[in-house]
Amino acid sequence: MVSTISKQKLYPTRIDLAEEVRTKVIDLLNQSLAATLDLKTQTKQAHWNVKGTDFYQLHELFDEMAGELEEYVDMVAERVTALGGTALGTARMAACESILPEYPLDAVGGMEHVTALAERYSAYGKHVREAIDTTDDLGDADTADLYTEISRTIDKRLWFLEAHLVE
């Protein structure tokens, strides 16, 4: 598939960030939007398919985590449009642009799902921390703050997942 993230038309805004800065931030936000949508659907995949003695606990945990990610999808997409861009948030766009690996369809047991999600939350958390630095360096403190809010929750959820993997 061809990348959907490209130089797009910017809509007028009175936000006092240079067009060049807004373009770079919008591209980064759209990459994050794809990854966030992908992580949310992968978390739902785990929610729907987990089995084993910890079924109920993990089923509920994964659903709660997916709900948090849905909020971040909306926050990221709205920041794109606030900056004058177009949010690229269809399932096809997310699949094409996500930084995350595909979810293992052979995962069944609770710890298999926990491991798969921990790997994906870790990669996503790294992406978000890099985005904090990038947007801060570009002078967009508001977007850096948005990423910081996301980062705190992602790190907390990674901690929850990793706690299940300790013997």
Q: Is residue 4 part of a domain?
A: no
Over residues 69-90, mean pLDDT: 97
Q: Would you say residue 136 lies in a domain?
A: yes
Q: What is the CATH number of the domain that holds 119?
A: 1.20.1260.10
**Angstrom distance (rounded) from CA 10 to CA 55:** 46
Instruction: Give residue 7's pLDDT band: very low, low, confident or very high (50, 70, 90).
Output: low
- Whole-number CA gyration radius for the chain: 17
Whether residue 30 lies inside any domain: the answer is: yes
Instruction: Return the pLDDT at 127.
Output: 98
Q: How would DSSP label each residue in 114-126?
A: HHHHHHHHHHHHH
Average pLDDT of the residues in 89-98: 94
Structural domains in the chain (count): 1
Domain that holds residue 69: 19-164
User: Is 8 a member of any domain?
Assistant: no
Q: How do residues 110-158 score in pLDDT, each as one tens digit? A: 999 999 999 999 999 999 999 999 999 999 999 999 999 999 999 999 9
Sign of CA dihedral 112, 72, 95, 128: negative
Residue 165 has, within 13 A of its CA and on its CB side, a CA count of: 14
Decide if 13 is inside a domain: no
Beta bridge partners of 51: 109
Global pTM reads: 0.94
pLDDT of residue 122: 98
